[in-house]
């Protein structure tokens, strides 16, 4: 599953921002081929076959279907905002999140409370400063499930350049299209990066960067252009000016063709538009504005139906920024007093308003993943990066993934044999405990009760296999409300 994230033109292009023309003020990653040293000794371990069975157990709690787009879902729980902290300064904002719940954005630092540094936040490490390309500013806009981060940073020469950051390699300069400045907005699962760059002639053009070919100009409709998102199939969305000065939502197909989004006609004829996000099904979210009105509306676009305007809070500006694979969209909408609030649009459901931190008057949401985790900021004057979790029914069931089994023949590790099973549990909005059922694939089934662990941990089955493999191991988890995960499987040899 690709990351689902913020889509903003980087600060380097504020004078050229396409948004200004609109008049507005998860396939989980594969487990490693072998476990880390000492069977990931740092992971918590639960011994599966010492637990008591749960009488009558799972027959009354059928497993739910895997996550999928659904109509008519209702939110059953939205968590209060969780502060992610700062890098020592007063301000922070979150702009991207991947399927693992790892978050990127920017924060002021203790040494300079007026300049931002890009950050990476994880539940295990908290907020980590990603540094810069030599200047005193950086801004992270997206993160892939592989942990690659993109954004823009000031260089030693004082120009903004797009960057790609990865653990161990640090921040790498992606260059430009010949001009002084560039900025990256999105990255997909293949490590392909999109954004905008100045050309040698001083025009802002959309680009795609790949490890194989470097940075390539995506072209325009005749004026400036900018790319804001890319999905794993290679569909890129953004906006471009026409020679007449009108800005239009566009997409670039995987074979490189530049297309206007169809359907901006009828009552919307003559409106300007910009595409901000695309999911794996090709659904697009963005914004559109009538000529000369000063009002910006959000839209959802489908190939089959064209543009659909989204509900607003009654103010003059609504900006969808990200869309997940269920069609949920997050962004911001102004209320009648022009206070910006973070909102979610869900197919078949009312507009969802996110709670503020105590004392705040405004908020913004910029990114979400397929597990209902949403990031952005609370606070209009002093923004602070926050995480919300939207739990839905049936999508509020636990998710079990990242399974990896290692069979331990006697003697490989002194005194230990059996099966070591690494798992990951994600259950937005639920603190557990969870009941687990593990079918080891050889007739042994363990029901492990009241396990408080979430995130990544391991089950240990002390008894070795007595029959030849491979054995298909099937795992489910049930939360206190009775919702059961879709079965997750792996192979134990």
- The torsion defined by the Cα of 190, 39, 370 and 233, in degrees rounded to 10, comes to 20
Instruction: Say what the pLDDT of residue 375 is.
Output: 97
- Is the model's pLDDT at 32 over the cut of 50? no
Nearest to 126 by CA among 170, 78, 169, 83: 83
User: How far apart are the C-alpha atoms of 67 and 79, rounded to whole Å?
Assistant: 20
Instruction: Say what the pLDDT of residue 5 is.
Output: 47
Backbone angles phi, psi at 18, to 5 degrees: -65, -30
- Residue of 447 and 323 predicted with greater confidence: 323
Over residues 364-379, mean pLDDT = 94
Instruction: Say what the pLDDT of residue 3 is.
Output: 46
DSSP conformation class of 359: T
User: How far apart are the C-alpha atoms of 338 and 312, rounded to whole Å?
Assistant: 12
b vs e for 120-148, b when ≥16 Cβ sit within 10 Å of the residue's Cβ?
Answer: bbeeeeebeebebbebebbbbbbbbbebb
Instruction: Say what the pLDDT of residue 392 is.
Output: 62
Instruction: Say what the pLDDT of residue 470 is.
Output: 84
Q: Are 379 and 355 in contact (CB under 8 A)?
A: no
Nearest to 283 by CA among 243, 233, 319: 233
Over residues 119-143, mean pLDDT = 96
Supply angle C-alpha 380, 338, 94, rounded to 5: 35
DSSP conformation class of 245: S
User: How far apart are the C-alpha atoms of 223 and 201, rounded to whole Å?
Assistant: 12
- 44-67 pLDDT, tens digit per residue, is 888 886 543 333 333 222 222 222
Nearest to 203 by CA among 334, 412, 16: 16
Domains of the chain (ranges plus CATH)? 4-27+75-392 (2.130.10.10), 397-492 (2.60.40.10)
User: How far apart are the C-alpha atoms of 156 and 148, rounded to whole Å?
Assistant: 23
- 201-242 pLDDT, tens digit per residue, is 999 999 999 999 999 999 999 999 999 999 999 999 999 999
Tokens of residue 158, six digits: 């004082």
Instruction: Say what the pLDDT of residue 349 is.
Output: 80
Over residues 389-413, mean pLDDT = 73
Nearest to 320 by CA among 78, 70, 118, 24: 24
The beta-strand segments (E) located in 220-358 are 225-230, 236-241, 247-252, 258-260, 272-278, 284-289, 297-302, 306-309, 318-323, 329-334, 340-345, 352-353
- 282-301 pLDDT, tens digit per residue, is 999 999 999 888 899 999 99
- 380-395 pLDDT, tens digit per residue, is 889 999 999 887 654 5
Tokens of residue 454, six digits: 């979430």
- Residue of 460 and 97 predicted with greater confidence: 97
Tokens of residue 140, six digits: 């992270």
């Amino acid at each position: 599953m690709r990351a689902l994230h913020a889509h903003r033109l980087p600060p380097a292009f504020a004078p050229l921002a396409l948004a200004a023309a609109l008049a507005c003020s998860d396939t989980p990653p594969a487990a490693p081929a072998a476990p880390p040293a000492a069977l990931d000794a740092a992971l918590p371990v639960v011994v599966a076959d010492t637990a008591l069975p749960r009488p009558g157990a799972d027959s009354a709690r059928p497993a739910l279907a895997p996550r999928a787009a659904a109509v008519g879902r209702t939110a059953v729980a939205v968590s209060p905002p969780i502060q992610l902290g700062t890098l020592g300064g007063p301000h922070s904002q979150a702009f991207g999140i991947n399927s693992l719940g790892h978050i990127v954005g920017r924060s002021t630092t203790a040494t300079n409370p007026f300049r931002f540094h890009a950050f990476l936040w994880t539940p295990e490490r908290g907020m980590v400063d990603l540094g810069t390309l030599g200047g005193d500013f950086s801004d992270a806009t997206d993160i892939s499930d592989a942990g690659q981060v993109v954004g823009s940073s000031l260089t030693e020469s004082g120009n903004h350049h797009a960057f790609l950051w990865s653990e161990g390699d640090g921040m790498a300069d992606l260059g430009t299209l010949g001009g002084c400045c560039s900025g990256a907005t999105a990255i997909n699962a293949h490590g392909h990066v999109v954004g905008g760059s100045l050309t040698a002639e001083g025009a802002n053009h959309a680009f795609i960067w790949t490890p194989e070919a470097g940075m390539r100009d995506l072209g325009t409709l005749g004026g400036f252009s900018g790319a804001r998102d890319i999905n794993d199939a290679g569909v890129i969305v953004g906006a471009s000016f026409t020679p007449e000065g009108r800005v239009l939502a566009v997409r670039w197909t995987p074979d490189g063709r530049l297309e206007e989004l169809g359907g901006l006609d009828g009552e919307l004829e003559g409106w300007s538009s910009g595409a901000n996000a695309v999911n794996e099904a090709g659904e697009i979210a963005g914004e559109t504005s009538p000529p000369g009105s000063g009002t910006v509306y959000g839209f959802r676009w489908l190939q089959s139906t064209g543009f659909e305007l989204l509900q607003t809070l009654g103010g003059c500006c609504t900006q969808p920024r990200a869309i997940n694979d269920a069609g949920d969209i997050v962004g911001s909408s102004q209320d009648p007093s022009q206070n910006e609030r973070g909102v979610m649009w869900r197919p078949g459901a009312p507009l969802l308003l996110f709670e503020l931190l105590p004392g705040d008057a405004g908020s913004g949401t910029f990114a979400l993943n397929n597990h209902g985790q949403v990031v952005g900021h609370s606070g209009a004057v002093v923004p602070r990066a926050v995480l919300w979790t939207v739990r839905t029914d049936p999508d509020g069931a636990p998710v079990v993934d990242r399974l990896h089994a290692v069979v331990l023949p006697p003697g490989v590790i002194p005194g230990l044999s059996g099966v070591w099973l690494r798992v990951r549990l994600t259950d937005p909005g639920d603190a557990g405990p969870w009941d687990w059922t593990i079918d080891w694939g050889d007739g042994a089934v363990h029901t492990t009760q009241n396990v408080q662990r979430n995130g990544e941990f391991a089950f240990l089955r002390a008894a070795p296999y007595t029959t030849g493999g491979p054995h298909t191991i099937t795992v489910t988890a049930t939360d206190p409300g009775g919702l059961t995960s879709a079965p997750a499987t792996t192979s134990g040899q």
